[in-house]
Amino acid sequence: MPTVDRSTPAPPGCAGRRALPGWLTSALQIFALSNFALAQPVFDRLGRNPMYLTSEEFQPATLLILAAIVSVLIPGLIVLCQRVIAWTLPRLAQSFHTLCLFVGFLLIALPLVKSAGCFPGLLHVLISLALAVTATWLSTERDWFRRIALPAAAASLIFPGLFVFRSAATVIVFPRQAEPLTVVVERPVPIVMIVLDECSGLSLMTPDHTIDATRFPHFARLAAGSHWFRNSTSVHPDTLQAVPALLAGRFPDSPEVPASQTRPQNLFSLLEASNQFRITAFEPVSKLATAPFATRAAARRPVHEQLPRLGQTLWPLYLHDLSPTDYAWHLPRVPTCWFGPLNPTAEVVDRQVRQGVVRYSWGSQRDVQLDHFLDCLDESTQPSLHFLHVLLPHVPWTYLPSGRAYLSDDYGEFLASEPSHGNADGFGGDEWLVVQRQQRYLLQLQFVDRFIGRLLDRLQTTGLYDDCLLVVTADHGVAFQAAGPRRDLSPQTAPEILSTPLFIKRPGQTTGVISDRNVQSIDILPTIADVLGMRLPLPVDGVSVFATDHQAPPTKRSLDRQFQEFTFARDLVHSSVVPQQTAQRFGNSPDFQPVLKVGTCDDLLGQSLDAIPQTTDGAVTIELAHFQHQLEYAADSLVPCFFRGVVQKPIALERPVILAIAVNGTIRALTRTYHVQGLYNYWEALVPESSLRPGDNDIQFFSVKPTTQGCQLCRCQFAPPSEAH
């Protein structure tokens, strides 16, 4: 009886030369497509997000197993299924293989089309389908295209190698041991150091580059008793590179996760090596402080728990990468932990702890973190370091100047899930959205200003103020430019992104000094060492800001997220027109009232509903996120003053819809839909906290109809909320 070969047929046109067996060629195609369609995007995403890797504290085995699963196991299982079908149902073997090819090419085409331009959703899908069909046909009908499988499969082997050896995961997979330091501090004094996050120094300034004392009175108070280096800039726009650079006095030199092994000389290791300081460090991200008495309640998760958590994060992220931008709101939300913070319920920090390394979940309970830090400041005569790195005024924007919050810290409002821009770090081209986002950022910065006032009061109460070295700065800034990146460097955004506040109060200092010296964040550690009389055992790139025997550099140097080096003029900050732009957007009102107006029917603001004509013609249907019709305003609750949603009907709006929000019978805010993907569908608004009353508040939404006789209101209808919001 003849033997039947049930493997996939050999490609036609191969007679007369040595060809790979058909089943092997098919297997190589599957491996190549799987690695290009799945492994490469996953490795690229993870390898460029050290914040997530360090926050989750993955074990080396977790990342190695992940690499094996996506690079080998998944394509291996597909090949195994293909071989089983070839042996049991040979007539279906070629169809199954063709289907696998089509799916693989489609998964490659979808993100490629997305990166090529902002196509409407249906067109995006149709183009991707056409590309996938064409590539599948070439794979099955053209021998030259099939022969690409072998080199493509070989090339795909580089993806796990780059992830393990040349990405942010490298330091986790291959931890290093640091040599011990020998340090002597000649003038030990208490050190209090605050590192804000995503805070542009330009945000604090008036058009004449002085502190805006109306909006930020406590920053002005801080400047009045310290050296204010208003020309200070960061050296990197990413927290996990900028903070270690600041703490170690060195430029970032690698996309690896900076840790105590890669930055063995840093503020914490130096003071710990001196044996002269007590250390209290609220350090949630950079993980340079290695004191053994860290206050994390939970041990690092085992591998069998980390892998599912990793998968739960990567799956919705992968869907967002594939999906057209205007479908993003209908997808599962990317978990908050992807952006750095851990699940707030996963960690419990003992509020009674006053010494050691305190690691709250990065972006959770930020008001609690501030309170806890202030409680740690005491009247001890022992030299101490009190260090706080806090995710403020960084997104999510949730706090009001009063200290109250209108969204929870785990709300997860990050730009990656916004429909306004395919790039996770950018704004859309509509100026109105940018202004609204900047308003919320500045309100949260006023909350930070309130904390600065509490800090100064606490230092004076404990007697630390006169004797301490006080440093208040930030890791990097943030830009608010229409159609521009939020944190990617460009000539237009560099002043806002690189500008950082820097206030240094020397022990015994009583009067303020304004300096335009060319200062960068790498100068902070050498400055602290200078004040303490501490010789640094290893070289640094920065110089003390008080050094008289060193000239400040003639230019500013920074690296972007791709580690491309940029050089800017030393007056980058002082020559910026951003303070003038901010004044034009918001005027001089400390509560940013101009943002409540849209330029049309603005006279409705403050009017009673009874005094405004209403109509039922042309009703607008809106979908609301995180909203109830009757909102209770209690002392310990979120302030119900922020609203966000989508105009569901009419569909495909080509011009903005003006909306009015009435609080307890009075129009308290006007807003309009902003421009996304050629349409005007999305909107948000913030009403003044002062417009709310204790207990229930009656919130109503209207569309505004300008007419020749004046403006009319039409009550909005409501669509059921989507879980994706």
The mean per-residue pLDDT over the stretch 128-149 comes to 85
Q: Kindly report which listed range (25-39, 166-180, 309-323, 663-677) carries the lowest average pLDDT score.
A: 166-180
Mean pLDDT, the chain, rounded, equals 85
Nearest 10 degrees: CA dihedral of 194, 196, 202, 206? -60
| AA letter at 368 | V
Band (117; pLDDT cuts 50, 70, 90):
low
Cβ-contact 357, 281 below 8 angstroms: yes
Cβ-contact 363, 344 below 8 angstroms: no
**pLDDT (tens digit per residue) in 295-315:** 443 456 788 889 998 998 899
| 521: nearest Cα among 394, 415, 389, 397 | 389
The mean per-residue pLDDT over the stretch 631-658 comes to 82
| AA letter at 174 | F
315 CB neighbour count, 10 Å cutoff: 12
Band (131; pLDDT cuts 50, 70, 90):
very high
The mean per-residue pLDDT over the stretch 99-119 comes to 86
Cβ-contact 440, 199 below 8 angstroms: no
**pLDDT (tens digit per residue) in 670-711:** 999 987 666 678 899 999 999 998 888 899 999 999 888 889
Q: Please report the pLDDT score of residue 386 as a whole number.
A: 97
Tell me which of 239 and 531 has the higher pLDDT.
Answer: 531
**pLDDT (tens digit per residue) in 375-385:** 999 887 789 99
| 3-state SS record for 91-155 | HHHHHHHHHHHHHHHHHHHHHHHHHHCCCCHHHHHHHHHHHHHHHHHHHHHCHHHHCCHHHHHHH
Distance CA 636, CA 608 (A): 29
50 φ/ψ angles, rounded to the nearest 5 degrees:
-60, -25
Which of 328-337, 479-488, 671-680 shows the highest mean pLDDT? Answer: 479-488
Cβ-contact 303, 62 below 8 angstroms: yes
Tell me which of 564 and 179 has the higher pLDDT.
Answer: 564
Q: Tokens 């608004």 map to which residue?
A: 685
What are residue 282's DSSP bridge partners?
358, 388
Distance CA 299, CA 348 (A): 11
- Tokens standing for 684? 């948000």
Q: Tokens 């992940």 map to which residue?
A: 66
In 3-state terms, what secondary structure has residue 707? strand
The mean per-residue pLDDT over the stretch 610-629 comes to 81
445 CB neighbour count, 10 Å cutoff: 24
Distance CA 450, CA 401 (A): 7
The domain ranges of the chain are: 22-173, 191-298+347-581, 597-719
Which of 60-74, 99-113, 222-236, 565-579 shows the highest mean pLDDT? Answer: 222-236
Which CATH number is 191-298+347-581 given?
Answer: 3.40.720.10
